[in-house]
């Protein structure tokens, strides 16, 4: 048997360095940790600050947020508005878990990428490959003389060539995982692309649609202007983003599409009667808003799950007056919560007996920052803060584990 590093430090043996001596001293300390001599000088002492952060985030009883657990002074955090556009996916992140938004979008805590540990290509990398392939292909075939004609062998070959170019690029970046699984994945993607051509043509013919634009950017400096939403409190919010694809119908209607390469089940909470799910699905209505002026009403935006396993399902949202009012109300609550300085950790519902049990935490890069247990109980205490009443009403209404890959 070989003792672990920790058990050796907890024992009485010799210390090999000053660091080991310090660690052994901390392990052996019997008082309250903040009283240890290594944690003195709180503000300037990184160890003391780390311990304070951990204790704050794990604290139960009292239910108060502080600077370590998601509360900043009113107006201290940058807030989107008429001068500062926000992407709908960033606001969706806030709606699901404001603390995750705080770490990623305000503190800009990055994720460490370890390509050497990738066994199977990540969903986000698959999404990038498919998006880039389709962008190149549909731009390449944009001016075909008969848009509803069968895809020719040359066009089919071009699609595969674009896909192979993207595969090679992904390999160069080292994100494709082990060779055997990557080979199987490539075969699956090629089959999905082939099937997509048939599905796409079927939709073209049904709606007499013409491909108009890929990666249509709005509010990003060039391209289309930002989407402007009137808030329920009288303010204005600007959105920026990029719609994967826009088609135009002969009746002047636009159809906006966001490709999804992940499972459609992660969008199970997106229902026609509740298309925003408390702010967790904002992408589609915002895309529709961005191109509303260019289209005969009402504008439709939809997720298109472009894989055989997802049966090429579409999930549409129609931006009618009711959805606009709903969007305005939900976004107002989110922005006011943010500007009041509330960024609590919201884990979502606890549905799994194994792995990460909380829905919102499953694909979160900050899992190690949050307590390993009691996340539900801590949120239940924190949401009693009157400043969180409106947000808690939204957050508790629905929960969804949407992978933040835009895949
Ligand atoms: S791990 Fe969960 S609770 Fe913590 S920031 Fe991520 S989503 Fe929020």
CA of 105 to the centre of ligand 1 (A): 14
User: In sequence order, what are the residues at sequence separation of 6 or more whose Cβ sits closer than 8 angstroms to the Cβ of residue 69?
Assistant: 56, 57, 59, 99, 344, 345, 382
**Residue 20 in domain:** yes
Residue 63 lies in a domain: yes
**Ligand 1-lining residues (CB < 6 angstroms):** 97, 99-100, 345, 347, 358, 360-361, 364, 366-367, 370, 375
Interatomic CA distance for residues 121 and 405, integer angstroms: 13
DSSP-derived letter for residue 104 is I
Is 336 part of a structural domain of the chain? Answer: no
CA of 215 to the centre of ligand 1 (A): 30
For ligand 1, the distance from its centroid to the CA atom of residue 100, given in whole angstroms, is: 6
Q: Ligand 1: which of 92, 106, 367, 371 to mutate, judged by most atoms within 8 Å of the beta carbon? A: 367
In a domain, 62, yes or no: yes
- Give pTM, 2 decimals: 0.86
Distance 391 CA to ligand 1 centre (A): 16
Question: What pLDDT score does 67 carry?
Answer: 85
Atom 7 (ligand 1) nearest CA: 361
Q: What is the DSSP letter of 106?
A: I
3-state secondary structure of 128: helix
Number of residues written out for the chain:
407
Query: What is the extent of the structural domain holding 53?
Result: 5-80
195 occurs within a structural domain: no
Query: Distance of alpha carbon 294 from its chain centroid, rounded?
Result: 28
Does 36 reside within a domain?
Answer: yes
Instruction: State which ligand 1 atom lies nearest to the alpha carbon of 365.
Output: 6
Strands 209-218 and 241-249: antiparallel
Would you state the torsion angle of the CA atoms of residues 252, 258, 263, 264, taken in this order, to the nearest 10 degrees? -30
The protein residue with its alpha carbon nearest to ligand 1, atom 1, reads 367
Kindly report the protein residue whose alpha carbon is nearest to atom 2 of ligand 1. 361
Number of domains in the chain: 1
Q: What is the pLDDT of residue 403?
A: 43
Give the C-alpha separation, 164 to 281, whole Å.
Answer: 33
Q: Ligand 1 pocket: which of 69, 103, 358 to mutate (most atoms <8 Å of CB)?
A: 358
Residue from 302, 295, 205, 300 nearest 253 by CA: 295
* 8 Å CB contact between 156 and 197: yes
Q: Find the Cα–Cα–Cα–Cα dihedral 77, 82, 87, 88, rounded to 10°.
A: 100
3-state class (DSSP) for residue 332: helix
Question: 108: CA distance to ligand 1 center in Å?
Answer: 15
Counting from 1 in the atom list of ligand 1, the atom nearest the Cα of 100 is 5
Whether 48 is in a domain gets the answer yes
Residue-by-residue pLDDT tens, the chain, 407 positions = 777 888 888 888 888 899 999 898 888 888 787 788 888 876 778 888 888 888 787 776 666 788 888 899 998 999 999 999 999 999 999 999 999 999 999 999 987 777 777 788 999 999 999 999 999 999 999 999 999 999 999 999 999 999 999 999 999 999 998 999 999 999 999 999 999 999 999 999 999 999 999 999 999 988 899 999 999 999 999 999 999 999 999 888 999 999 999 888 888 888 888 889 889 999 999 999 999 999 988 899 999 999 999 999 999 999 999 999 999 999 999 999 999 999 999 999 888 777 778 989 988 999 988 888 889 999 999 998 999 999 998 877 644 444 444 44
Q: 199: which strand partners?
A: none
Question: Going by C-beta distance under 8 Å and a sequence separation of 6 or more, which residues neighbour residue 112?
Answer: none
Dihedral over Cα of 85, 88, 90, 91: its sign: positive
Closest ligand 1 atom to residue 364 Cα is 6
Does the residue 301 lie in any domain? no
């Amino acid at each position: 048997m070989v003792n672990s590093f920790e058990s050796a430090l907890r024992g009485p043996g010799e210390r090999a360095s000053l660091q080991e001596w310090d660690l052994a001293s901390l392990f052996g300390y019997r008082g309250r940790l903040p009283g240890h001599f290594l944690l003195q000088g709180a503000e300037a002492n990184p160890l003391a600050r780390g311990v304070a952060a951990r204790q704050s985030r794990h604290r139960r009883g009292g239910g108060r947020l502080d600077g370590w657990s998601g509360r900043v002074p009113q107006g201290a955090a940058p807030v989107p508005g008429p001068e500062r556009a926000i992407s709908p996916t960033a606001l969706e992140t806030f709606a699901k878990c404001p603390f995750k938004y705080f770490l990623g979008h305000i503190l800009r805590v990055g994720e460490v990428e370890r390509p050497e540990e990738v066994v199977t290509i990540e969903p986000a990398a698959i999404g990038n490959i498919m998006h880039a392939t389709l962008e190149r292909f549909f731009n390449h075939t944009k001016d075909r003389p008969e848009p509803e004609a069968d895809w020719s062998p040359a066009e089919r070959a071009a699609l595969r060539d674009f896909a192979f170019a993207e595969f090679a690029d992904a390999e160069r970046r080292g994100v494709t995982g082990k060779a055997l699984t990557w080979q199987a994945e490539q075969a699956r993607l090629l089959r999905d692309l082939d099937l997509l051509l048939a599905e796409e043509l079927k939709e073209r013919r049904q709606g007499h649609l013409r491909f108009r634009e890929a990666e249509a950017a709005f509010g990003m400096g060039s391209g289309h202007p930002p989407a402007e939403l009137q808030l329920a409190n009288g303010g204005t919010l600007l959105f920026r983003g990029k719609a994967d694809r826009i088609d135009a119908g002969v009746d002047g209607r636009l159809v906006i599409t966001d490709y999804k390469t992940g499972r459609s089940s992660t969008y199970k909470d997106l229902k026609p009667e509740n298309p925003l799910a408390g702010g967790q699905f904002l992408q589609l209505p915002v895309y529709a808003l961005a191109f509303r002026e260019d289209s005969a009403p009402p504008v439709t935006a939809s997720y298109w799950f472009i894989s055989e396993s997802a049966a090429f399902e579409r999930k549409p949202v129609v931006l009618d007056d009711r959805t606009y009012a709903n969007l305005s109300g939900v976004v107002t609550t989110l922005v006011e919560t943010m500007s009041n300085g509330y960024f609590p950790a919201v884990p979502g519902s606890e549905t799994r007996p194994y792995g990460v049990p909380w829905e919102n935490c499953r694909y979160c890069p900050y899992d190690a920052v949050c307590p390993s247990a009691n996340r539900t109980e801590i949120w239940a205490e924190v949401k009693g803060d009157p400043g969180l009443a409106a947000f808690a009403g939204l957050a508790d209404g629905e929960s969804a584990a949407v992978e933040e890959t835009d895949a």
